[in-house]
Structure 1
């Protein structure tokens, strides 16, 4: 049987031109395509009551957490900075419950962009709310309008890590974020950074967690290394 990957979704929380106030749950097609290409069956998990999280986890073999809004600093005990963007407290609470449920059930987790940040905050770490003001980095961490799937930013990986196995000591990835990990949660090891020191990946082999700040789902169709990351995640089931 194909392994089943639960993909955490996003949802509209404000009226839009297309849907008005007919709110929807959704995820980008690239996540579904990357999971399918890696030989697994994607199942979308609509945002709901956190008490449902364990039931959802019981029906999947692994959990994928996707990009989206800024993670609320409430999760790590901070007030929002003026540069903090749109928060979605319902999504934060639901995904935190999914993470805790997957860890308790010993099921693999892959976090992408916001997914890395929500994993870190849920498990006891802190995040930078805005790199430009808190880190004053000289590197652009948002490549838009360059094509989503184009690798633009250099990363350095640590030895004996999955990121090192796939990308080697250095490599290039795409980048679309203004928040990032500040203090890693206990048990999470930083396994890749940008040249300015910003965390680009963390891993925890004991809890089967892989989390990256970049977007491999956008590169997976044309980039063998990004595709290999999804295969490695599924292989941990």
Structure 2
């Protein structure tokens, strides 16, 4: 039986040249293909009223929170700095509902990029709103226009972590972000960092949470470790269903 993984979607908040005034909900195909190749059945969850989040979670076995806009500092009680970019409060609130509902139902959560930042903020932590401005001696964390699947900086993992089981003590990953975890939320354990100390992964076995700052879905087609991360997540979902 294939576990059903609900993918939190993004949506257009203004007209685009391609879609005109069609304000679509969407997700990148590589999130879907990575889950399919890991043996799961993906189900896209449109951004809705936060009160509907629990009903969506009821119908899936786990949640994947994807990349996208900056996480609003409203979630951790701060005003935006000038370098804070596009926020989407509707998405923040809906995905906050997904997180709380999944935890209450003991269903696993995988967060990627924005996903790790949102999980941390929702559970009581704070985020860096802009790494180049707020992190001393920061390395480059946005590799654009370098190819999405190319690894560009190292991470160091912690002993005993799932990340270390998958990636080893050190590994190279890709990087597309300017925000990151700052104060770690209670209950989350940092399990990977970059050379400048930026948090690259957190885990919480009690609440079935795994979240990474890099983008394994962009590398999964060509990188064995990235593909293995999705397999490990899907297997953890199977374990909760056993």
Q: Same fold (TM over 0.5)?
A: yes
After TM superposition, give the deviation of residue 18 of structure 1 in Å: 1.4
Cα distance in 2 for partners of 1:114, 1:32 equals 17
Question: What is the correspondence of 1:1-237 to structure 2 with a 5 Å cutoff?
Answer: 1-237=1-237
Aligned positions, number: 237
Q: Give the Cα separation in 1 of the matches to 2:144 and 2:22.
A: 29
Structure 1, unmatched stretches of 5+, are none
Aligned counterparts of 1:84 and 1:110: Cα–Cα separation in 2: 24
Deviation at 1:235, TM superposition (A): 1.1
Q: Distance in 1 between matches of 2:138 and 2:39?
A: 39
Q: 1:136 deviation in Å?
A: 3.3
1:108 CA drift (Å): 0.4
TM-score, reference length from structure 1: 0.99
After superposition, what is the alpha-carbon deviation per residue over 1:103-157, rounded to whole angstroms, capped at 9, x for unaligned? 0000000000000001000000000000111113341101111110111110000
Q: Deviations over 1:1-51 (max 9, x none)?
A: 211000000000011111122110000000000000000000000000001
CA distance in 2, matches of 1:109, 1:138: 28
Once residues 95 and 139 of structure 2 are traced to their aligned partners in structure 1, the CA distance between those partners, rounded to angstroms, is 30
Return the alpha-carbon distance in structure 2 between the equivalents of residues 34 and 90 of structure 1: 26
Is contact 1:125-1:186 (8 Å) kept?
A: yes
Q: What is the SS of the residue equivalent to 1:221?
A: coil
Residue segments in structure 2 that go unaligned for 5+ positions in a row: 238-242
Determine if contact 1:131/1:137 at 8 Å carries over to the other structure.
Answer: no
Q: Which moved more, 1:82-91 or 1:130-139?
A: 130-139
Say what the alpha-carbon RMSD is for the aligned residues.
Answer: 0.6
**Contact 2:131 / 2:138 at 8 angstroms: preserved in 1?**
no
Q: Distance in 1 between matches of 2:118 and 2:135?
A: 20
TM-score, normalised to structure 2's length? 0.97
CA-to-aligned-CA distance 1:56-100 (integer Å, 9 cap, x gap): 000000000000000000000000000000000000000000000
Q: Distance in 1 between matches of 2:24 and 2:144?
A: 25
Q: Deviations over 1:155-192 (max 9, x none)?
A: 00000001111111111000000000000100000000
